[in-house]
Structure 1
Amino acid sequence: MRWHDEERRKDEKLRHPADGQSWKDFGNRHTNFALDTRNVRLGLSSDGFNPYRTMSISHSTWPVVLMAYNLSPWMSMKQEYFMLSLLIPGPKSPGNDIDIYLQPLIEELKELWEVGVETYDASKNETFPMYTALLWTISDFSTYTMLSGWSTKGKLACPCCNHGTCSNYLTYSRKMCYMGHRAFLPEDHPWRANKRSFNGKVEHRQAPPLLSGTEALSQLEYVDNSFGKLKPKKDGPWKKRSIFFDLPYWQYNTSRHNLDVMHIEKHIVDSILGTLLDISGKTKDHTNARYDLQEMGIRKNLHPKKTNGNKKVKLAKACYSMTNAEKLIFCDVLKTAKLPDGSASNISRCVNLLERRISGYKTHDAHFMLHYLLQIPIKGILPDQVAVPLIRLGSFFRQLCQKSITLQEIDQLEEDIITTLCQLERIFPPSFFDIMIHLPIHLANEVRLGGPVQFRWMYPPERYMCTLKSYVRNRSRPEGSIVEAYLVEECLTFCSRYLHSGVQTKLNRQPRNNDEPNNSMMETTDAFSNLFPKRGVPLGAKKGEPFLLDDNSREQVHSYILLNCHKIDDYVRFHTRQREVRRKTQNSGVTLVALTTSFASTKDANPIHGNVSYYGRVNDIIELDYYGNFKVTLFKCDWYEAREDAYGSTYVHFNKKCYQEEPFVLACQVHQCFYVQDAVDKNKHYVMKTVPRDLFSISDQVDIDAEDT
């Protein structure tokens, strides 16, 4: 519980909520609370789920979960450290009445803030008064209204822009659109005066300031907080005074409610795919959207034209429109893409080549497509004026979701997303810009306030709700089943961790199915000599020191094993190319960063020393056994020439190999990557670098939760 203060590296990077401005502001204001680092800082998350695992039964159960941010990054967002504080029964969502259910929890939080609780610290062998504070809530955008009281619908739907939200009602589409992102540009930016490319007006507004908790509380002074079925009509954006304001410190919290990046990404991917592929019911470019353009008097080339005696309407092709052949290429890239194990579901099952549409994908699939996959077909099919802002949008989210980020990177992301959204305003119709397209403009600032995204999005709570759903055994009383099973599991966990004495022996699990490694043992024979050349073979560089398999080390090898699968610390798995031929996943891609001397030419007298990235695929996995003293795992790889395209993406050609005389590398030196085939050139593959979910870079060391799978 003291990790956030004693073990967290305190530098310019944000790796933990303690690095965010909100945490620091809270400590500066409440100095007595911050003096003892064992005092607990919490986050609260809530969402509804159907415990019956079927859409035929309408039921909504709402758990309220607490997570402790004192813990390390690889612990605080794990299910075993969550606290199920409330379980609000169905069958319907509690809506604004959720405050009634939250009353016992708020009373306990007030007591833990004002009085504290006597706690025994086993590490210091002392008893101390422990206090607790709630930093913020985590929820999807619809639940945001229930927890904060701010209405997330209508003309003031953005809680960050609040009363300065720029919105416009579209008469024909019958919906609100949220454009006007030029207000976030510098005052002297030329786009502010560009009427033709935007909404036909000069932009003079400034970016609206955030609404502080004190200002919000003053606005809530006259809001009717009556609960129940009969609710008075409210003219303003506030639907109620949130019960969280009963906490003495809540109005002073810099960040009180978080925007959920998970659902924002999913909605953006839905809008992009629906519009580009012109999916019926999903596209944002339709007849009514074109009439909205005509009413606004902008983009006259896209206005609908009536033909055949005004009986039919003809719509001109937009710059983002694709032919059926191009749609087929677009879908084929996603259909044939192989992803690493555990990164996403089988996206190919969501692609219908015959109908040229993509549907049925989950939130994490959308996350992966936005970060890595969509840019490949987009850059090969669409013109640059459309491809560039869409690629930059995916790049923004990829950098935003880093587990380690600097303030300089956050500032740059904030500038980039403003420009990107303004570029999108020049391309897509106003109906494209619903509230979820607008919200990314605030996400960089939320990272500045609260730290990395991984601590404030809904992925961990959603997985936790899936676990709760699995507890349901009695459908007549689902909440009772969940509570009973939850308590039993908590008791078993406590007993196994804290009451069990003795040494636990880890048993080696034997292969049970085809997914387990099929290894073959080979003694040192002539085959070993054929596998490794006689001379020393460099195995890659680590801090400038090459590892060589020389004649002496060859003689010390007692035996070796040929593997087709290798796991590093249980968090990333590598396969050989032969193993994954018939598999739907791709785990053979590797990238190595080595300190290398580069020459501009043969006559170059001033070589450059620096890190160079190499990209390849694993052909063989060899485990060397040095007479039981130690073992070394080697990868025998094909390496490829790497290039960079005009969009800044790295690609390789599988038919252009290099460094064939140096195929070996230590398994501990490489990181996993995967390759996505180009939409046109089948030999051209783009390199995609990923970071495993449970891998965290803390200081100069790598820390993971070794028990997590």
Structure 2
Amino acid sequence: MGKHLVRHGFMSDYTKRIYHGEADCGRDKVVRQRIEEYDNDAEKALEARNVCVALATDGFNLYGMVAAPYTCWPMFVIPLNLPPGVLLQRQNIFLSLIIPEHPGNNMSVYMEPLIDDLVHAWEERVWTYDRATRTNFKMHVWYQYSLHDLPAYGIFCGWCVHGKFPYPICKASLKFIWLTKGGKYSSFDKHRQFLPPDHPFRRDNKNFTKDVVVNDLAPQMMTLAAVRAQLDTPEVNNHEDGFVGYGEQHAWTQKSCLWNLPYFDDLLPHHIDAMHTEKNIAKAIFGTIMDIPDKKKDNVKARVDQARLCNRPKLDMVPPSADKSWRKPKADFVLTRAQGREVLEWFQTLMFHDGYAMNLKRGVNLATMRINRLKSQDYHIWLERLLPVMVRGYVPEHVWQVLVELSNFFRQLCAKELSWTVVAEMERIAPVLLCKLEKIFPPGFFNPMQHMILHLPYEARMGGPVQGLVFAEQEDPAYTWDHYVAAADVDDRDHRTFANKAERVKAELWDFYRCQEGFEARAASVTEQASKKLVKDMHYEAWVQAIIDFYDEFRKMKVTKEEARTMNLTKEEFMVVDTER
């Protein structure tokens, strides 16, 4: 499985140069330095052709978002010896497993064959053909880390991320608070303990939780050896599923099969996908600043929880008087509707290079005051490049400065190159930045995603620049045909190379549509009939989906497909749905 897939890297004319040290490969040097720290494994690290790999997985619905709630989980093996520029290209990522359902607590069962291969490749080595020297050699392969968003991270390592201990690195040493009205756990005011002992924020009993001074020191991160000792002696709960103490002393749901790897205690075994974290944080800030009803974190429930926890009387809900209802005072960080409209009109004027970001003006909807179809890359560009300009002059200076610090934090974190001094400084300012955000936003804003700001610099220091720590929801650039003509082609697994990528596309399309000689007329007839039916079906399904979207968005009613097929909309209603899309 995984070990056999990695062997193919030595059979390519391009990747063979990398494994022989003929190409720059900074991440591989970092990994090998770590392996050399262990005397027993120094010999394996000296051989440049030995391979370290990362594992990545995430679930997706094969049938689209409106179909049955079914997920499929592919498991990918990524060789880390490659340079960052080609590390996550399709031809260098190998599919090793396909899990046909949500794995839940059975993830280790599905992964057993892959782990057995990794153990064998580490201890007994694998015979591999080296195309550069035209010889066979025995190759070591070792697991370096996994790469996931937070839910998949929890499944992969066996820790529940949905309770009071939602972050697997802090584990039970950091307990989130429960928001009564919000109905969720929050990391609000859990970051002052990570500040230096003499920091003034620790003694501030007004801008954080009212009448609370923090004297506790930051919790110590458990070593993997300590975690193994904790997992080696679990006490099964005979009355309920799981282990004794679950939800009170820990959140372990299983013991991952990764612990079967003999070197697992010496790793930082899991990494958070930085792009997922950045997207979720940017999405929360954008929805809150623009006051989007179903996206903002500053809603009525958040204000009620804030009044209970914080001393911010100007933001408390105003009780009704006479015939008026409850009123929510405007916060400094929220734009007015007129300001929001000016911002959206500004977005309609923005232009980017091809492939840099989507054409934002196509997603702007002035009727609903939002931007539709934003992807991870778009939130990445918005947070790091556009946010400081967008809110300048609309929010108070102290709010703007904090948002600029957040933007600059992610801009430095996502840089192509990182220096040790910059990462050390980011680790120092991360808790300060979170505390500044806590002084501005309500407790309902802070979920596990915001807490991960604290740990991202440490993961960058241990794993290298985050370009190699971005996997899930990786977007292809918006290439034009001219890009394909100008782009050089690379040797594929069939050892075919074309003049450019455009020639490859034409050749592969010709191979796909070519039929046996003498059947051209029949093939043309079948293709025409199938195409007409497909277009007709597409229009019909779009008509049905438009009815569903209209009733959901504008009438707040859930309509099934069966019901939608018997309904209709006016032309004006169809146009509103079309504009929304």
- Distance across 2 between alignment mates of 1:207 and 1:301: 32
Q: 1:58 to 1:508 in 2, by over 3 A?
A: closer
Match of 1:181 among 176, 180, 191: 191
Alignment partners' CA distance in 2, 1:193 and 1:421: 16
Structure 1, 107-116 or 360-369: larger mean CA deviation: 360-369
Question: What is the CA–CA distance in structure 1 between the aligned matches of 2:292 and 2:225, rounded to whole Å?
Answer: 45
Distance 1:142 1:508 in 2: 37
Q: Which residue of 2 aligns with 1:495?
A: 494
1:169 partnered with 2:168: no
Distance 1:213 1:4 in 2: 30
2:208 matched to which residue of 1? 198
1:383 aligns with 2:401: no
1:505–1:60 Cα change, 3 Å: closer
* Residue 407 in structure 1 maps to residue 420 in structure 2: yes
Deviation at 1:262, TM superposition (A): 1.3
Matched, 1:241 2:260: no
Whole-Å Cα distance in 2 between the matches of residues 129 and 26 of structure 1?
18
- CA deviation after TM superposition for structure 1 residue 94, in Å: 1.6
SS in 2 for 1:147: helix
Unaligned 5+ runs, structure 1: 10-14, 465-491, 498-503, 513-709
Deviation at 1:206, TM superposition (A): 2.0
- Helix, strand or coil at the partner of 2:208: coil
Give the conservation status (yes or no) of the 8 Å contact 1:177–1:431.
yes
The amino acid across from 1:350 in the alignment is G
Query: What RMSD in Å do the two structures reach over aligned CA positions?
Result: 2.7
**Would you say the 8 A contact 1:44–1:138 is kept in 2?**
yes
Change in Cα spacing, 1:496 to 1:289, as seen in structure 2 (3 Å) is same
Q: 3-state SS of the aligned residue for 2:217?
A: coil
Residue type at the aligned position of 1:63: P
Structure 2, unaligned runs of 5 or more: 1-15, 478-490, 506-581
Q: Which digits, 9 at most, give the CA deviation of each residue in 1:667-702, with x for residues without a partner?
A: xxxxxxxxxxxxxxxxxxxxxxxxxxxxxxxxxxxx
- Flag the 1:210–1:334 CA change in 2: closer, same or farther, 3 A: farther
1:251 matched residue in structure 2:
265
Q: Which amino acid aligns with 2:340?
A: K
2:91 to 67, 80, 92: 80
AA partner of residue 391 (structure 1): V
Q: 2:71 maps to which residue?
A: 60
1:304 to 317, 334, 347: 317
Q: 3-state DSSP class of the match of 1:74? A: coil
Quick one: distance in 2 between partners of 1:8 and 1:413?
30
Structure 2 match to 1:519 = none
1:124-174 Cα offsets, whole Å, 9 max, x none, are 344322111000101111101111112212111122222222521111111
> Residue 131 of structure 1: which of 123, 137, 140 is its match?
140
Q: Which amino acid aligns with 1:372?
A: R
Number of equivalenced pairs: 467
Judged with a 3 Å threshold, the aligned counterparts in structure 2 of structure 1 residues 215 and 368 are, in CA distance, closer, same or farther, namely same
1:287 matched to 2:300: yes
Distance 1:214 1:309, change over 3 A: farther
What TM-score do the two structures reach when normalised by structure 2? 0.75
For the pair 1:47 / 2:58, whether they are aligned, the reply is yes
* SS of match in other structure, 1:327: helix
Contact 1:198 1:425 in 2 (8 A): yes
Partner SS, residue 330 of structure 2: coil
Q: Using the alignment, how far apart are the partners of 1:309 and 1:290 within structure 2?
A: 22
Asked if 1:147 corresponds to 2:140, the answer is no
Deviation of the 1:122 alpha carbon: 3.5
Return the alpha-carbon distance in structure 2 between the equivalents of residues 286 and 223 of structure 1: 42
Distance 1:68 1:397 in 2: 26
Specify the SS of the correspondent of 2:368.
Answer: coil
Higher helix proportion:
2
- Structure 2 contact 56–75 (Cα < 8 Å) conserved: yes
Q: 1:373 matched to which residue of 2?
A: 386
- How many angstroms apart in 2 are the aligned matches of 1:360 and 1:314? 32
Q: Distance in 2 between matches of 1:508 and 1:423?
A: 48
Distance (whole Å) between structure 2 residues aligned to residue 300 and residue 507 of structure 1: 64
1:5 Cα shift?
Answer: 8.2
Write the distance in 2 (CA, Å) between the matches of 1:427 and 1:144: 29
* Contact kept? 1:17, 1:69, Cα under 8 Å: yes
Q: Distance in 2 between matches of 1:6 and 1:509?
A: 31
Contact 2:58 2:472 in 1 (8 A): no
Task: Give the Cα separation in 2 of the matches to 1:176 and 1:276.
Answer: 22
Kindly report which structure 2 residues correspond to 1:401-480, keeping only aligned pairs within 5 A, or say none: 401-459=414-472
Please tell me whether the aligned partners of residues 169 and 176 of structure 1 are also in contact (alpha carbons under 8 angstroms).
yes
Look up the equivalent residue of 2:499 and give its one-letter code: K
Deviation, structure 1 residue 310: 9.7
Distance of 2:124 and 2:305 partners within structure 1: 59
* Kept in 1: contact 2:19–2:49 (CA 8 A): no
Q: Please list the CA deviations of residues 403-424 of structure 1 after superposition, one character each: whole Å capped at 9, or x if unmatched.
A: 1111111112223332221111
SS at match of 2:221: coil
User: Cα distance, 1:113 vs. partner?
Assistant: 0.8
Deviations, residues 225-279 of structure 1 (Å, cap 9, x unaligned): 89xx9667833211110110011111221x1110111111111122111111111
Rg larger for: 1
* Counterpart contact for 1:150–1:237, Cα < 8 Å: yes
What secondary structure, in the 3-state scheme, does the structure 2 residue paired with 1:67 have? strand
In structure 2, the partner of 1:269 is: 282
Q: Give the superposition deviation at 1:351.
A: 2.0
Asked if the contact 1:223–1:241 (Cα under 8 Å) also holds between the matched residues in 2, the reply is: no
Tell whether the 8 Å contact from 2:74 to 2:98 is kept in structure 1 after alignment. yes
Shift of 1:460: 7.3
TM score, norm. by length of structure 1:
0.62
> Any idea what SS the aligned residue of 1:397 has?
helix
Number of the residue aligned with 2:518: none
Q: 1:407 to 1:2 in 2, by over 3 A?
A: farther
CA distance in 2, matches of 1:415, 1:362: 30
Q: Is the 8 A contact 2:360 2:371 kept in 1?
A: no
2:499 to 485, 488, 506: 506
- Please give the secondary structure, in 2, of the residue aligned with 1:206: coil
- C-alpha separation between the residues in 2 aligned to 1:460 and 1:268? 15
- Secondary structure of the residue that 1:80 maps to in structure 2? helix
For each residue in 1:171-218, what CA deviation from the matched residue of structure 2 results, as whole angstroms up to 9, or x when unmatched? 111111102222222111111111112112112122223222111111
- 8 Å contact 1:225–1:241 — kept in the other structure? no
CA contact (8 A) 2:146 2:270 kept: yes
- What CA distance in whole angstroms lies between the structure 1 residues aligned with 2:346 and 2:19? 43
Over 3 Å counting, the alpha-carbon distance change for 1:36 and 1:225 in structure 2 is farther
- 1:50/1:60 contact within 8 Å kept: yes
Structure richer in strand, relative to its length: 1
> What percent of counterpart residues are identical?
32
Question: Is residue 334–residue 373 contact of structure 1 (8 Å, CA) maintained in 2?
Answer: no
Say which SS state the counterpart of residue 398 (structure 2) adopts. Answer: helix
Partner of 2:37, secondary structure, is helix
What is the aligned counterpart of 1:31 among 30, 42, 50?
A: 42
- Equivalent pair of 1:65/1:461 in contact (CA under 8 Å): no
Which residue in the other structure is 1:649 paired with?
none
CA contact under 8 A between 2:27 and 2:84: conserved in structure 1?
A: no
Structure 2 residue aligned with 1:158:
167
1:325 counterpart SS class = helix
Letter in 1 for 2:411: R
Report the 3-state secondary structure (helix = DSSP H, G, I; strand = E; otherwise coil) of the residue aligned with 1:258.
strand
Q: Is the 8 A contact 1:40 1:132 kept in 2?
A: yes
Distance (Å, rounded) in 1 between the aligned partners of 2:456 and 2:21: 29
Counting only pairs closer than 5 Å after superposition, residues 312-323 of structure 1 correspond to structure 2 as 312-323=325-336
Amino acid at match of 1:401: C
Determine helix, strand or coil for the equivalent of 1:37.
coil
